[in-house]
Amino acid sequence: MRRRAFLGTGGAVLGAGALAAAGWPLLSDYVREGRPGKLLTSGADLPKPYRTPLPLPRVLEPVSKSATTDAYEITQQAAELEILPGLRTKAWTYGGTFPGPTIVSRSGRRTVVRHRNELDRPGVVHLHGGHTPAASDGYPTSLILPADGSYDAHRVAQDMSGGSHGMSVDHGAMDLAAGARTYTYPFEQRAATLWYHDHRMSYTGVAVWMGLAGFHLVHDDEEERLPLPRGARDIPLMITDRSFAADGSFQYPWVDKELHTPGVTDAYMNGVLGDVILVNGAPWPVHEVERLRYRLRFLNASNARLYKLELDPQPEGGDAFVQIGSDGGLLAAPRLHDALEIAPAERFDVVVDFSRYRPGTKVRLLNRFGDGSTAEVMRFDVGAGSPADDTKVPRQLSDVPRLDPGRATVTRDFHFRGSSAGWTINGKEYEPGRALARPKLGRTEVWRFTTNFHHPVHLHLDHFQVVSRNNRDPGAFDHGWKDTVDLRPAEAVEVVTRFTDYAGTFMIHCHNLEHEDMAMMGDFVTE
Ligand code: C2O
Ligand code: CU
Ligand code: CU
């Protein structure tokens, strides 16, 4: 029945596909096009915005350090959080908080994280943006079983069956760890804003919605030499939308509230949107800033929602956001934006100079793609003083080598489609162990993504560079090293890739988590 109803969605999607035949839509049409997802309205009363101070996730202390390695431990556990004032929300957390603790690593030093699973269901941890060997990359069937022993291979298989979208798993191929798993991150990669989140096959959307996401920042010497804002003026901002029942619990359109059958109800196959905007886990928070430069690391950790972030008021002269980095770290040179369009999983690292505002200005961060409660995100309250600022944004930030698409020997096409067959890549629903591509390590390749709907396309293992969008130059938000690129209906994006170091199985998928869970994912195998 779910399958049949999905045909309806497929029909709507094909409507967008017909656009492709008529030629590319103008980018400005994007705003008028239906964006992905469906709003799940909260049963709880929504709080007034700008009452809660912005929480800053705590930085995790290593449990041990050696000459080469920092070791951490995280317990995945249920926690009762007060997200909406006066209400209790049962969350699934990394270490008792949402977002989880921030891990801070140093490029070139190994980080080892042992995750113990005290939740009542299996989990998988993926470090998004990590240049990580396959064994620690969080393959969707490399599960950590609950420490209480409630799951065995048989029960895992039961939870995979009865799915709404025909994904099949060779259960013998599952890689099950009892209670805990240790992930090793060599961090042979440059400074960047990474994040970690659950990646369990068919259950990623609900797991992240319930709270399983955190920041993982990487620093290096090159970044440290720059006179950028740091310390309390370097702020990671995880933006998510959520929906709450009247009793404060997270609402999600699960087909099975007990979560032994994956999937969401038909109406939400295209993604789940909430009406409460959380930044670092707090609804429409407020943060006091001085009239100084701040580095803001925006992460869109929402399941399906796209944002167009804009400051209100704009500073005089515009260009409020000085972008210094993208998913994969520093840009070669800063880029100026009045607004930032940010799709699920993307990161924008920007500097905002609050000295451009008069003392006492209350600066709202708006979402121009939202309306009503989702049109506002947070507020910065600018202080009264005029402190001296010893930071700046240099004209040159980093040496970013350009991958030359002219040197590519292989071009691969990936079609992201919604149809009566579900959400597919090249007509195929996800099947663990089936490789959609076998790139050779060290070789430059061009990967071409086409869509008939909105899909933020993400690659594991290495960052890529966008070569073209709709056969023209990359868009305003495509610069620098990326690991996720947003595609809109009927668009084509070419990226240049070069996978390095690690042979094994990695993922290509849509980062709309409901699309991902409903099979828009594939393996690629580096060799
Ligand atoms: Cu952030 Cu494979 O995902
Ligand atoms: Cu990833
Ligand atoms: Cu998608």
Report whether residue 400 contacts ligand 1, using a CB cutoff of 6 Å.
Answer: no
pLDDT for 509 equals 98
Q: Which residues pair with 13 in a beta bridge?
A: none
For the segment 461-466, the average pLDDT, to the nearest whole number, is: 98
Report whether residue 345 contacts ligand 1, using a CB cutoff of 6 Å.
Answer: yes
Q: Which residues pair with 307 in a beta bridge?
A: 342
pLDDT of 22 > 80? The answer is no
Q: What spatial distance separates the first Cα and last Cα of the chain, rounded to whole Å?
A: 41
Report whether residue 337 contacts ligand 1, using a CB cutoff of 6 Å.
Answer: no
pLDDT for 14 equals 33
Ligand 3 center to 149 CA (angstroms): 34
Report whether residue 293 contacts ligand 1, using a CB cutoff of 6 Å.
Answer: no
**At 168, is the pLDDT very low, low, confident or very high (cuts 50, 70, 90)?**
low
DSSP assignment of 7-62 equals HHHHHHHHHHHHHHHT-PPPGGGGGTSPPS-EE---SSPPPPSS-SBPP-PPBPPP
Between vectors from CA 95 to CA 136 and to CA 515, what angle results, nearest 5°?
Answer: 55
Report whether residue 460 contacts ligand 1, using a CB cutoff of 6 Å.
Answer: yes
Ligand found nearest the CA of 127: 2
pLDDT tens digits along 36-54: 899 999 999 999 999 999 9
pLDDT tens digits along 220-272: 999 999 999 999 999 999 999 999 999 999 999 999 999 999 989 988 999 99
pLDDT for 174 equals 85
Ligand 2 center to 30 CA (angstroms): 26
Report whether residue 509 contacts ligand 1, using a CB cutoff of 6 Å.
Answer: yes
Ligand 2 center to 283 CA (angstroms): 26
Ligand found nearest the CA of 456: 3
DSSP assignment of 161-192 equals TT-SS-----GGG-EEEESEEEEEE---S-SE
Report whether residue 128 contacts ligand 1, using a CB cutoff of 6 Å.
Answer: yes
For the segment 471-476, the average pLDDT, to the nearest whole number, is: 97
pLDDT of 12 > 80? The answer is no
pLDDT for 515 equals 95
pLDDT tens digits along 52-94: 999 999 999 999 999 999 999 999 999 999 999 999 999 999 9
Ligand found nearest the CA of 417: 3
Ligand 3 center to 289 CA (angstroms): 36
Q: Which atom of ligand 1 is nearest to the CA of 345?
A: 1
**At 4, is the pLDDT very low, low, confident or very high (cuts 50, 70, 90)?**
very low
Residue 491 CA to residue 494 CA, distance in Å, equals 10
Ligand 2 center to 120 CA (angstroms): 24
Ligand 2 center to 89 CA (angstroms): 27
**At 162, is the pLDDT very low, low, confident or very high (cuts 50, 70, 90)?**
low
Residue 133 CA to residue 130 CA, distance in Å, equals 9
381, 358 Cβ separation under 8 angstroms: no
Q: Name the average pLDDT for the chain.
A: 92
Domains (range + CATH), the chain: 64-225 (2.60.40.420), 232-382 (2.60.40.420), 405-526 (2.60.40.420)
E strands present in 357-404: 362-367, 376-382
How remote is the C-alpha of 450 from its chain's centroid? Answer: 20
Residue 74 CA to residue 113 CA, distance in Å, equals 7
Q: Which atom of ligand 1 is nearest to the CA of 509?
A: 2
**At 26, is the pLDDT very low, low, confident or very high (cuts 50, 70, 90)?**
very low
Ligand found nearest the CA of 509: 1
Ligand 3 center to 69 CA (angstroms): 37
pLDDT of 24 > 80? The answer is no
**At 35, is the pLDDT very low, low, confident or very high (cuts 50, 70, 90)?**
confident
Ligand 1 center to 272 CA (angstroms): 17
pLDDT for 165 equals 53
Tell me which of 162 and 304 has the higher pLDDT: 304
Ligand 1 center to 315 CA (angstroms): 35
pLDDT for 501 equals 98
pLDDT for 408 equals 97
pLDDT of 281 > 60? The answer is yes
Report whether residue 507 contacts ligand 1, using a CB cutoff of 6 Å.
Answer: yes
**At 452, is the pLDDT very low, low, confident or very high (cuts 50, 70, 90)?**
confident
Pairing of strands 504-510, 521-526: antiparallel
Report whether residue 200 contacts ligand 1, using a CB cutoff of 6 Å.
Answer: no
Nearest CA to ligand 1 atom 3: 128
341, 323 Cβ separation under 8 angstroms: no
Nearest CA to ligand 1 atom 1: 128
Ligand 1 center to 431 CA (angstroms): 16
Element (H, E) at 295: strand 293-300
pLDDT tens digits along 369-416: 999 999 999 999 999 999 999 999 999 999 999 999 999 999 999 999
pLDDT of 175 > 50? The answer is yes
Report whether residue 131 contacts ligand 1, using a CB cutoff of 6 Å.
Answer: no
Q: Which atom of ligand 1 is nearest to the CA of 128?
A: 1
Q: Which residues pair with 349 in a beta bridge?
A: 297, 325
**How would you classify residue 113: left for phi > 0, otherwise alpha for psi between -120 and 50, otherwise beta?**
beta
pLDDT for 420 equals 60
Residue 466 CA to residue 454 CA, distance in Å, equals 17
Tokens of 224: 């440290």
Element (H, E) at 439: none
pLDDT of 467 > 80? The answer is yes
Ligand 2 center to 523 CA (angstroms): 12
Pairing of strands 272-273, 234-242: unpaired
pLDDT for 28 equals 32
pLDDT for 416 equals 96
290, 383 Cβ separation under 8 angstroms: yes
Ligand 3 center to 512 CA (angstroms): 5
Q: Which atom of ligand 1 is nearest to the CA of 195?
A: 1
Residue 48 CA to residue 119 CA, distance in Å, equals 32
121, 82 Cβ separation under 8 angstroms: no
pLDDT for 167 equals 58
pLDDT of 15 > 60? The answer is no
Tell me which of 161 and 315 has the higher pLDDT: 315
For the segment 207-229, the average pLDDT, to the nearest whole number, is: 98
495, 466 Cβ separation under 8 angstroms: yes
Q: Which atom of ligand 1 is nearest to the CA of 460?
A: 2
> What proportion of the chain, given as a percentage, has pLDDT over 90?
87
Q: Which residues surround ligand 3, an ion (CB under 5 A)?
A: 455, 510, 512, 515
pLDDT tens digits along 319-337: 999 999 999 999 999 999 9
Report whether residue 455 contacts ligand 1, using a CB cutoff of 6 Å.
Answer: no
pLDDT for 157 equals 87
Radius of gyration of the chain (CA): 22
**At 288, is the pLDDT very low, low, confident or very high (cuts 50, 70, 90)?**
very high
pLDDT of 16 > 60? The answer is no
